Amino acid sequence: MNFNYNLPINLLFGRGRSNEIGTEVAKYGKKALIVTGRNSTKKSGLLDKTIDLLNKAKVQYEIFDKVEQNPLTTTVYEGVDVIKETGCDVVLGLGGGSIMDAAKSIAFSAKNPGDISEYIFGIKQGSEALPIVLVPTTCGTGSEGNCFSVLTNPETKDKKSIRTNIIIAKASIIDPELMVTMPKSILASVGFDALAHNMEAYLSKIGQPLTDMKAFYGIKLLSENLIKVYNDPSDLDAWDSVTLASTLGGMVIGIAGVTAPHGLEHPASGLHDIVHGKGLAALTPIIVEKSWESNLEKYSNISKLLGGTDAADCADAIRNFLKKIDLKVTLGELGIKEKDVEWMAENCMKVSRPSIVNHPKEFSLEEIKDIYYKSL
């Protein structure tokens, strides 16, 4: 047994912890770039609350609210321009996974000039980033707990993550009470993304005892609580568990990586800007059907946690779970066409090769095409 586990981040977890945003940001800078979405934090009142907390802590701020559901490299450059114009010295990501990913990349690009795609593909290496504080408002990506930032290049349609420890947040404030305003459809898709993170890290070839332990617990928490909060958003105890599982999912993929479901989904949402969790829901059961024999013990464990009996019915257990959160969907229903399969499969081998290799069964190009076709 031989492994490393390094996660230099301060996680502030619990109901009401968002009240500490001002004092926490003040530790790292005097002027914050608040990276947020166009609507949700405004409607929920969180943006106004954050501004009040920053004012009390004597932290100045600028607001950047142009981030898309699949953040673009070009949007990152726009955020950097605001930093250059206003002199912000700390980045505060306030929102869901896309917001946090964009915040991390903006903090990175502010200190590492040029085409961020060159850093994403390992042509260049970054040296530092502005300090980052993250406040998640959805329980999905777990971006608050890892070194990833997933971006889409609008010219090439490549959707791939920059991975570097310099974009790990200085602090992440994880307040389950911020999650309760999510619409049910968003909760279902981000919740399944969190489940996929934990399942994939658990199955990963480069997993290790600490990631296995956390991922298994994350799957258990979601299997017992995601349907509860979907049906009853007032269940704060269940929200605690779902939110914790999401953060655990982010932490474990930061070490163990993701596998084939994320590997195949990224070309789909890179090409057609589909909702990431829905893409995963369309692909994951088919992928499990094609690979459950590659790790009988772990697929069996996942199946049992989700209400199945053994590895052979793991795909059906996932489908039944998806039904209960109204997330049974196909790629065809998301707008993917047969003519897209060739490009997606080639792009998968280009941008997602590490995830394909990391899966318990390594799929060939033809097998990937077959999964896409069956998922339509």
Mean pLDDT of the chain: 96
pLDDT in tens, 149-160: 999 999 999 999
Q: Answer whether residue 40 shows pLDDT above 90.
A: no
Q: Answer whether residue 1 shows pLDDT above 90.
A: no
d(CA 142, CA 147): 10
Other Cβ atoms closer than 10 A to 273: 18
Amino acid 9: pLDDT? 85
Per-residue tokens: 143: 């971006």
Query: What pTM, to 2 d.p., does this model score?
Result: 0.95
Amino acid 35: pLDDT? 98
d(CA 373, CA 286): 10
Amino acid 81: pLDDT? 98
Per-residue tokens: 276: 């990431």
d(CA 143, CA 251): 8
d(CA 241, CA 14): 11
At residue 171, the 3 state secondary structure works out as strand
Amino acid 60: pLDDT? 98
Quickly state the pLDDT bin for 39 (edges 50, 70, 90).
Answer: confident
The strand ranges marked E within the chain are 10-13, 31-36, 60-64, 90-95, 132-136, 148-152, 159-163, 171-174
Q: What is the mean pLDDT of residues 96-120?
A: 96
Amino acid 341: pLDDT? 98
pLDDT in tens, 185-236: 999 999 999 999 999 999 999 999 999 999 999 999 999 999 999 999 999 9
Q: Answer whether residue 46 shows pLDDT above 80.
A: yes
Q: What is the mean pLDDT of residues 321-346?
A: 98
Amino acid 343: pLDDT? 98
Phi and psi, residue 94, nearest 5°: -125, 95
CA distances from 81 to 58, 87, 89, 94, 127 (A): 24, 10, 13, 19, 19
- Residue 126 · residue 319 · CB < 8 Å: no
d(CA 83, CA 3): 38
Other Cβ atoms closer than 10 A to 295: 18
Q: What is the dihedral sign for C-alpha 99, 213, 211, 360?
A: negative
Q: Could you tell me what percent of the chain has a pLDDT over 70? A: 100
